Amino acid sequence: MITVLRAGALTTVQDQGRAGHAHLGVPTAGALDGPALRLANRLVGNDRAAAGLEITVSGCRLRVHRTTIVAVTGAPTTKITVDARSVDAGVPVPVPAGAVLDIGPATAGVRTYLAVAGGIDVPPVLGSRSTDTLSGLGPAPLRDGDTLRVGAPTGPAAPVWFTPAADREPRLRVALGPRDDWFTADAIGTLTTATWTVSTRSNRVAARLEGPKLTRANPDELPSEGIVLGAVQVPAGGEPLVFLADHPTTGGYPVIGVVHPDDLPLLAQCRPGATITFTQGKPWT
C-alpha cells in the first residue's frame, strides 16, 4: 500500500489510456507525456501498460508501506527524497518499507511521473486505470489521506541511460484538415507563421492558445462531429486550442488541423506563458 500524505494540486493515476471506445463517447485519457511514463515503468521493471502517477506542477509526498523500487521521470523537480535523503530522477530508486517519498514542485515543465514496481493497482475501467478528468471515469484525483494498492513486481529493474531534452520552443507538426476550407487563406498562413502562447486555461482536456485570431471564410454552423487526439479546434473567438488526452469525442467548432501525436508530449509539458509554433506537415496514419 501507499498512503498519500500530500496530494498536491493535481495528482492522478494514469496508464497509456483506454483506446477503442470513442464511438461510445469515451475519451482515451492516459498520461499526457506517454514517453515519460513508459520510461519510468521500464526503469522499475513494469510492463509499459502499468499505471503510475502523473503529478502536476506542485509535487506530492507519499508513504510506502512495502519495500519497493520507484522511478521519477518527466518534468524536473526541486527535489526527490526518500526519508529526507536526496535521490536522482531517471534511475531506479530502492525505497524501504515505511519510508516517505517526497517529490518537490516542478522546476520546468508541468507533469512529473512516478512509477512503482508492480504498478498502481486500482480497478480498471474499460481496460484502463487512468483518471479521466472530463468524463469522471477511473479513480478520482488523489487527496491527502488516500491509499493506493501496488501490484506484485513483474520484472527486475532495468536501468537505461537517457539525456533530458534541452529546453526549446516546441515546433509542432500539424496536418491541415478536415475543416481547413472553413478558414481564409490568411488564417491558414497565420496558423503556421504566428507564435502562440499557452493559456492559463489549459488543462488535461486541451492546451488553449493565445495569439492572433483565425478568421473563418464560412460563417455557417457546423454540426457536431468526431474529434481526435491532437485536433486543433477554433472556437468562435478565433483562438485555437489543441485537444489532449481527456478531450471530448465530438465537437461543433471547425478543426483546422491535427497535431502529430509524437509532438503532443512536448505541448503537454508547456507551462502557461510558454510559446509554441506550428509547421505544416503531411497527413499521417
Indicate which CATH number applies to the domain containing 271: 2.40.100.10
Point out which residues pair with 232 in neighbouring strands.
242, 257
pLDDT at residue 165 greater than cutoff 60 = no
Tell whether 163 is covered by a domain.
no
Place of cell 467548432: 253
- Given 148, 179, 197, the domain boundary residue is 148
pLDDT at residue 252 greater than cutoff 60 = yes
Question: Are residues 3 and 65 in contact, defined by beta-carbon separation less than 8 angstroms?
Answer: yes
Do 20 and 130 fall into the same domain?
yes
pLDDT at residue 162 greater than cutoff 80 = no
Tell whether 70 is covered by a domain.
yes
- pLDDT tens-digit series, residues 89-137: 999 999 999 999 999 999 999 999 999 999 999 999 999 999 999 999 9
Q: How far apart are CA 86 and CA 78, in angstroms?
A: 11
Point out which residues pair with 210 in neighbouring strands.
197
Please report, for residues 37, 163, 218, 248, the alpha-carbon distance to residue 111 in angstroms, rounded to integers and kept in the order given. 10, 18, 38, 21
If we measure between CA atoms, which residue out of 152, 148, 154 comes closest to residue 123? 148
If we measure between CA atoms, which residue out of 245, 230, 263 comes closest to residue 32? 245
pLDDT at residue 164 greater than cutoff 60 = no
pLDDT at residue 216 greater than cutoff 80 = yes
Number of domains in the chain: 2
Question: Are residues 246 and 205 in contact, defined by beta-carbon separation less than 8 angstroms?
Answer: yes
Place of cell 507564435: 195
Do 142 and 252 fall into the same domain?
no
Do 8 and 142 fall into the same domain?
yes
Tell whether 276 is covered by a domain.
yes
Do 88 and 218 fall into the same domain?
no
| Coil vs helix vs strand at 87 | coil
- pLDDT tens-digit series, residues 254-284: 999 999 999 999 999 999 999 999 999 877 6
Do 180 and 271 fall into the same domain?
yes
Do 8 and 116 fall into the same domain?
yes
pLDDT at residue 82 greater than cutoff 60 = yes
Do 77 and 199 fall into the same domain?
no
Do 115 and 177 fall into the same domain?
no
Q: How far apart are CA 57 and CA 272, in angstroms?
A: 11
Do 199 and 142 fall into the same domain?
no
- Given 148, 183, 213, the domain boundary residue is 148
Residues for the chain: how many in total? 285
Q: What are phi and psi of 260, to 5 degrees?
A: -60, 130
**Residue 160 CB partners (closer than 8 Å, separation 6+):** 39, 42, 43
Which pLDDT score, from 0 to 100, does residue 159 have?
A: 72
Q: Average pLDDT of the chain?
A: 94
Q: How far apart are CA 141 and CA 211, in angstroms?
A: 32
Do 66 and 144 fall into the same domain?
yes
Domain span including residue 31: 2-148
**Residue 285 CB partners (closer than 8 Å, separation 6+):** none
- pLDDT tens-digit series, residues 58-78: 999 999 999 999 999 999 999
Q: How far apart are CA 196 and CA 191, in angstroms?
A: 9
Which pLDDT score, from 0 to 100, does residue 157 have?
A: 84
Do 18 and 71 fall into the same domain?
yes
Question: Are residues 150 and 2 in contact, defined by beta-carbon separation less than 8 angstroms?
Answer: yes
Tell whether 271 is covered by a domain.
yes
Tell whether 229 is covered by a domain.
yes
Tell whether 140 is covered by a domain.
yes
Tell whether 285 is covered by a domain.
no
Tell whether 154 is covered by a domain.
no
How do beta strands 206-210 and 225-226 pair? unpaired
Which pLDDT score, from 0 to 100, does residue 231 have?
A: 98
Do 112 and 8 fall into the same domain?
yes
Distance of CA 142 to the CA centre of its chain: 16
- Given 148, 163, 186, the domain boundary residue is 148
- pLDDT tens-digit series, residues 175-195: 999 999 999 999 999 999 999
